[in-house]
Amino acid sequence: MTRIDFHLNVADHLLYTCRLVRKAHGSGLRVVCFSTRPEVLEQLDQLMWTFSDEDFLPHVVTGHPGITETPIVLTDKADDVVHHDLLINLDEQWPPFFSRFERLVEIVGLDEDHKALARQRYKFYKDRGYPLNTFDRAGA
């Protein structure tokens, strides 16, 4: 069963995502970052190239031919999901394919609208019996 972690009070969700991806990749996990908004994936792609001078995060954006070999995938499609270690949800709704993964991370920002949508996702997962964890990242 998928373990679901909510990371709360994150000031910059894309920078935080890069840090999570760096940690997961360093631990040997394969990562999928999901959003149905192309601009989010584009911003994350750019940030992964520039957020650290010391770390390289080998990643591809949906549709790239090397998607099956690359350990980090940025996608808006369930069809592009080729590995199932860690899913990071950057969308407002739950990913329809999240149950294929060992772990799911939900990143919750500071905005009240964002928190309200996260509460709906939390309730969705809880009602289905998924193990849930919360981590308050205020100031992190």
Domains of the chain, by residue range, sit at 3-136
> Homologous superfamily of 3-136 in CATH?
DNA polymerase III subunit chi (3.40.50.10110)
Distance CA 132, CA 5 (A): 6
Distance CA 121, CA 127 (A): 10
- The average pLDDT across 71-81 equals 86
- The average pLDDT across 54-77 equals 86
Distance CA 84, CA 79 (A): 12
- The average pLDDT across 3-18 equals 96
Model-level pTM? 0.94
Q: Is residue 140 very low, low, confident or very high in pLDDT (cuts 50, 70, 90)?
A: low
Note whether 71 and 30 are within 8 A (CB): yes
Angle at which helix 13-26 crosses helix 38-50, to 10 degrees, equals 60
Any idea which residue has 């999240």 for tokens? 98
The pLDDT of residue 87 is 97
Q: Is residue 53 very low, low, confident or very high in pLDDT (cuts 50, 70, 90)?
A: confident
Q: Is residue 12 very low, low, confident or very high in pLDDT (cuts 50, 70, 90)?
A: very high
SS3 90: coil
Between 46 and 63, where is the model more confident? 46
Could you tell me which of 132, 136, 92, 87 has the C-alpha nearest to residue 116?
Answer: 92
Distance CA 38, CA 49 (A): 17
Between 18 and 79, where is the model more confident? 18
Structure tokens at 88: 């990071």
